[in-house]
Structure 1
Amino acid sequence: MPQRTKIILNPITNHGRSQQDADQLKPMFKEHAVDWYVSEYAGHSVKLAHDAAAEGYDLVVAAGGDGTVHEVVNGLMQLPAEIRPKMGILPLGSGNDFAHIIGVAEDHAQAFQNFLHRTPISLDVGVVGDENNRKEYFCNTIGIGFDAVVTIHTKRMKKIHGFMMYLVATVKTIFLDFPRMDLTVETDEERWEETTIMLTLGNGPREGGGFMVTPDAKVDDGLLNYVTVSKISRLMMLRLVPEVMKGTQGRFRQVRMGICRRMSIHSKQPLFAHCDGEIFSGFDTRLFQFNIEILPNALQVIK
């Protein structure tokens, strides 16, 4: 294990179960002289991760779900590469998409033990900027339109979680909130204009506890995989749901899939977006332009 390790725990992840799971690991933390900090408010993990370099830590561990991982990534990516600590993940959430993608052990004690013995791997990180020069990093996916509205609905659900939460929110969005965006999209390879209800770019292949939205994406290939769904009926969107679960949606003519390193998006309507399941622009924002790119080998991760 690196000389100094900082664990950042989100105690409310998975309806508070993360605190219970972490408590069971406390003897191991003490045995290996690991310092742990508790995130106290939204965005606190960003600051805790960012401060780790100045505090002399070599490894920062996100102990929580995908939201905690997202915040830790954003804190670390604000640091210059030469002083940026490595990252680890203790998957204490309900979905744990990114941990699953990179092969983190589901057993929490085993995942912790892996930090003792394994060497880091280099992973890509995505970044999005808007017309107000706001910037946010993502390690897994950025979803725009339908995908984002689904995520907004999940934030209001308290009694269900994980894959079922996203499935219920998906059906709700199909019948209640069917966003339409008149987009002009330009990548480093192509350009198109289209009325679209959903555009997702993936560094990793899955989100929402198991939806294979960008099934061919790899977190270490220096590319973003994208999928768009053109304007379709509610019935057709229902038809696509089981296909997205399996990653076979690309066989439908209304679905466009491809790869890029950079993408610029201009919309006539406000853009709703999430990054790694965290809201980047919601119903109360008016953003019409995004610039997205992949940063190859940006983060060292021990899995």
Structure 2
Amino acid sequence: MGTKARSRKVQLILNGKVAGNDALRTAVAQQRAVGHSIEVRVTLGKGDARRFVTEAGELDLLVAAGGDGTLNEVVRGLMALSTDARPVLGVVPLGTANDFATGCDIPRDPHEALALCMEGEGVPIDVGKANEHWFLNAASVGFGAEVTATTPPELKRLLGPAAYTVMGAILAMNPHQYHGRLILPDREITGSGPVAIVGNGRQTGGGMQVAPRARIDDGLLDVLVVRHIPPMALLTAARELQELSADGEYISYWQTPWAEVYPDESIPVNLDGEPVQFSSVRYEAVPRAIRLIVPPNCPLLSATAK
């Protein structure tokens, strides 16, 4: 496949905060040494990555080298292009959390990740939309990132380490309860409690599996709703977190092509790490919006989902 690979036009967009990464520099040099042509553009500030995408012209492969924020900016740039003009996307994870890349099993080692980009095949995946904003991984509301001291350790035995971490984050959520309506294709719910997660990917907050059934090519978003959990209901809520039923009293979970939220007041939403504010929001999955290079056994693809 050498001839085909060497004929590809490749641009790598690198977050300026990690521009001194020696491992990436060596990996790029190695790929160039075997005949690949890679142009590197380094971001200096917010918006640069998106602009680089729109300025790139015709490309065969675009590589986002950075964290979840860099990846989000690149995806926003891709979605500003016509469908036919969007190049295949590869990822070299260089951020702190790298939630989306980790969920896809993309290697953290820059040499391995860049080799995957150069040798892999792009597969069609979905992109999430929140009003006119784009997200690749997840939209979250008031979601804490730490297990609090009020999370009983005995729940760890019941839930296991991964779900225990999620429960701790739920209990650490902003205590402010947003009242309003959640509309799904088959139901409308009125009450208090934030829509904690709308996921295209599975994890956020540095590895928390908040949408464990999510797949990036199923045309659906995974919606996790959390209501106020009184101390006496912790065990019930823990069981609901295991079951992920649509009808949980404290924790509910749906897979849906779209969801609309109409809060009584403006709500802060985090889109792949980018804070925005919505007075109302329609979330939807845009199926097969971009092509992404992932490992052959990527757990977020329907054919290989774990």
TM range (shorter): 0.7 to 0.9
Q: Greater shift after overlay, 108-117 or 185-194?
A: 108-117
Contact residue 124 and residue 297 of structure 1 kept, 8 A: yes
Q: List 4+ stretches of structure 1 deviating above 4 A.
A: 170-173, 233-240
Match of 1:269 among 241, 265, 269: 265
Structure 1 residues 8 and 187: CA distance shift in structure 2, 3 A = same
Residues 244-255 of structure 1 mapped to structure 2, 5 A cutoff: 248=242, 250=244, 253-255=249-251
Instruction: Measure how far apart 1:44 and its partner are.
Output: 1.1
Counterpart-to-counterpart distance in 1, 2:170 and 2:203: 20
Aligned length in residues: 265
Q: Give the equivalent residue in structure 2 for 1:158.
A: none
Instruction: Measure how far apart 1:20 and its partner are.
Output: 3.7
Instruction: Measure how far apart 1:73 and its partner are.
Output: 0.6
1:182 alignment partner AA:
H
Counterpart-to-counterpart distance in 2, 1:19 and 1:224: 34
Instruction: Measure how far apart 1:172 and its partner are.
Output: 12
Q: Give the equivalent residue in structure 2 for 1:47.
A: 51
Residues 73-222 of structure 1 mapped to structure 2, 5 A cutoff: 73-129=75-131, 135-144=132-141, 146-147=142-143, 174=172, 177-222=174-219
- How big is each residue's C-alpha offset from its partner over 1:153-212, in whole Å with a ceiling of 9 and x where there is no partner? xxxxxxxxxxxxxx8xx879938x422100201112221111003431111111111111
Identity of aligned residues (%): 25
Determine helix, strand or coil for the equivalent of 2:21: helix
- How big is each residue's C-alpha offset from its partner over 1:25-78, in whole Å with a ceiling of 9 and x where there is no partner? 2412532220000011012111112222x2x22211100111111111110011
Counterpart-to-counterpart distance in 1, 2:185 and 2:20: 41
Runs of 5+ consecutive residues of structure 1 not aligned to the other structure: 130-134, 152-166, 282-286
Match of 1:36 among 29, 40, 47: 40
2:284 alignment partner AA:
E
2:188 alignment partner AA:
R
Residues 222-261 of structure 1 mapped to structure 2, 5 A cutoff: 222-233=219-230, 248=242, 250=244, 253-261=249-257
Q: Give the equivalent residue in structure 2 for 1:9.
A: 14
Counterpart-to-counterpart distance in 2, 1:44 and 1:22: 20
Contact residue 145 and residue 205 of structure 2 kept, 8 A: no
Contact residue 12 and residue 64 of structure 2 kept, 8 A: yes
Runs of 5+ consecutive residues of structure 2 not aligned to the other structure: 147-164, 295-306
Instruction: Measure how far apart 1:150 and its partner are.
Output: 5.8
Q: Give the equivalent residue in structure 2 for 1:302.
A: 293
Counterpart-to-counterpart distance in 1, 2:137 and 2:169: 23
